[in-house]
């Protein structure tokens, strides 16, 4: 019997989950999202919407009453409320998994306990503790807020002891941790899926290029050695085995100068670095997530066509939709998220540049450079 799917979060990830769900009519009859933004991206492609804060207990309860199965596209959901609702409504990934992942310290402690490689870290509760840790670990290190941080906004790099006060002031009142600064060679990620029956599937490792802490571009598959590829995919598989959650997870990693792979962090949801799968793979990460939480067999995750994903970021503050002018080509797939408000650096769309003719990654990178030169992002005329 087909189910009503509830999604906490109706941004671009909720939108692409909605679109994937609409192609699974036998399994999913209706999609309802909970999101505070009126006319959120998911609602614009046909999801029903409950307009409320992601953590609003009554709204989450209402969503659970209306849904047969709940999932989420943000990690800042209210895991305590979800835990209470778990008896009556299926929730995947489970609230227990969410609770561990949404707190960076619990996440790192969990990974360490399971012998998964990560950077050295510590809990910090006072300036004295921070001073002691700096003496022990050395500098530079990153002071991180444990919860609700994204796009690097909860991180402060401490290079000198004289910066301690500024760093602590910035995050005053927040639960904190510190982490040794990793002089990484590359940032990579693996999108991994585990279905409710315990079947695990990983997508090939991809390479992520960030600018100002925001993902700019994903190169799929990543340009890494065979050794790094194997390490990354094995780490992802092991993480999925110990985490027990069902669904798609984005596992971000560092590759060190010695070709060692460390986990940076796990997202308990579909991930920006998996958007390439919409064109590069037979099964997109969005379809895979739905297959995983519905207990279906997982789809093929191999890359058919190498692809580069390029994020379109909002150029400024603007009430209204943007649209993009670019040199059109058959192998370029533009996806705009229909956001009705833009802020500088906000993700408003992405492009997948697909190598169907086996031209090679260097040629794709040239095409991206060309595309960037001619890309115009301007307010959409209504």
Nearer residue to ligand AMP within complex by CB, 144 or 269 = 144
Distance between CA 209 and CA 218 in Å, rounded?
6
Q: Applying CB under 6 A, does 181 fall inside the site for ligand AMP?
A: yes
Q: Which of 36, 152, 299, 379 binds ligand AMP (CB under 6 A)?
A: 152
Q: According to CB under 6 A, which residues from 109 to 148 bind ligand AMP? A: 119, 142, 144
Q: Which residues make Cβ contacts (< 8 Å) with residue 348, sequence separation at least 6?
A: 312, 313, 314, 322, 336, 337, 339, 342, 377
Nearer residue to ligand AMP within complex by CB, 144 or 291 = 144
Q: Which of 58, 212, 213, 297 binds ligand AMP (CB under 6 A)?
A: 213
Distance between CA 375 and CA 215 in Å, rounded?
18
C-alpha distance across the termini of the chain, in Å: 41
In the complex, minimum distance from the CB of residue 201 to ligand AMP, in angstroms, rounded to a whole number = 24
Q: Any idea of the CA torsion for 175, 191, 34, 145, to the nearest 10 degrees? A: 10
Nearer residue to ligand AMP within complex by CB, 137 or 332 = 137
Residues 141-175: b if buried by 16+ CB within 10 A, e if exposed: bbbbbbeebeeeebbbebeeeeebeebbeebeeee
Q: Applying CB under 6 A, does 187 fall inside the site for ligand AMP?
A: yes
Q: Which of 155, 196, 331, 345 binds ligand AMP (CB under 6 A)?
A: 155
- Please, what sign has the CA dihedral across residues 361, 367, 369, 372? negative
In the complex, minimum distance from the CB of residue 142 to ligand AMP, in angstroms, rounded to a whole number = 5
In the complex, minimum distance from the CB of residue 155 to ligand AMP, in angstroms, rounded to a whole number = 5
In the complex, minimum distance from the CB of residue 178 to ligand AMP, in angstroms, rounded to a whole number = 9
Report residue 199 as tokens.
């079947």
Interface contacts to ligand AMP, rule CB under 6 A: 119, 142, 144, 149, 152, 155, 179, 181-182, 187, 210, 213, 252, 264-265
């Amino acid at each position: 019997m087909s189910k009503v799917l509830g999604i906490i979060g109706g941004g671009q990830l909720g939108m692409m989950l909605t679109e994937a769900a609409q192609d699974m009519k036998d399994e999913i009859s209706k999609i309802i999202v909970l999101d505070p933004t009126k006319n959120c991206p998911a609602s614009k492609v046909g999801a029903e919407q409950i307009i409320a804060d992601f953590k609003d207990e009554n709204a989450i309860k209402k969503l659970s009453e209306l849904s047969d199965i709940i999932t989420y596209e943000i990690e800042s959901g209210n895991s305590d409320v979800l835990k209470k609702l778990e008896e009556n409504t299926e929730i995947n990934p489970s609230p227990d998994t969410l609770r561990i992942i949404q707190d960076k310290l619990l996440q790192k402690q969990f990974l360490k306990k399971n012998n998964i490689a990560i950077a050295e870290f510590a809990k910090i509760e006072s300036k004295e503790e921070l001073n002691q840790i700096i003496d022990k670990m050395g500098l530079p290190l990153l002071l991180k807020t444990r919860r609700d941080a994204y796009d690097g906004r909860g991180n402060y790099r401490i290079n000198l002891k004289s910066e301690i006060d500024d760093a602590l002031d910035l995050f005053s009142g927040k639960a904190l941790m510190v982490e040794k600064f990793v002089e990484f060679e590359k940032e990579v990620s693996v999108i991994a899926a585990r279905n409710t029956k315990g079947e695990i599937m990983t997508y090939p490792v991809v390479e992520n290029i960030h600018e100002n802490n925001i993902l700019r571009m994903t190169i799929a598959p990543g340009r890494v050695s065979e050794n790094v590829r194997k390490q990354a995919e094995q780490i992802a598989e092991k993480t999925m085995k110990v985490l027990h959650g069902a669904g798609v997870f984005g596992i971000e990693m560092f590759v060190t100068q010695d070709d060692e792979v460390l986990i940076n962090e796990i997202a308990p949801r579909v991930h920006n670095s998996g958007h390439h799968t919409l064109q590069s793979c037979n099964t997109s990460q969005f379809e895979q997530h739905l297959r995983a939480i519905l207990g279906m067999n997982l789809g093929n995750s191999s890359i058919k066509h190498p692809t580069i994903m390029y994020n379109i970021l909002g150029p400024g503050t603007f009430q209204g939709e943007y649209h993009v002018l670019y040199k059109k080509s058959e192998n370029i797939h533009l996806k705009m998220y229909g956001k009705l408000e833009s802020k500088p650096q906000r993700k408003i769309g992405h492009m997948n540049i697909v190598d169907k003719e086996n031209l090679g990654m260097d040629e794709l990178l040239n095409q991206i450079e060309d595309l960037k030169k001619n890309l115009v992002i301007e307010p959409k005329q209504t």
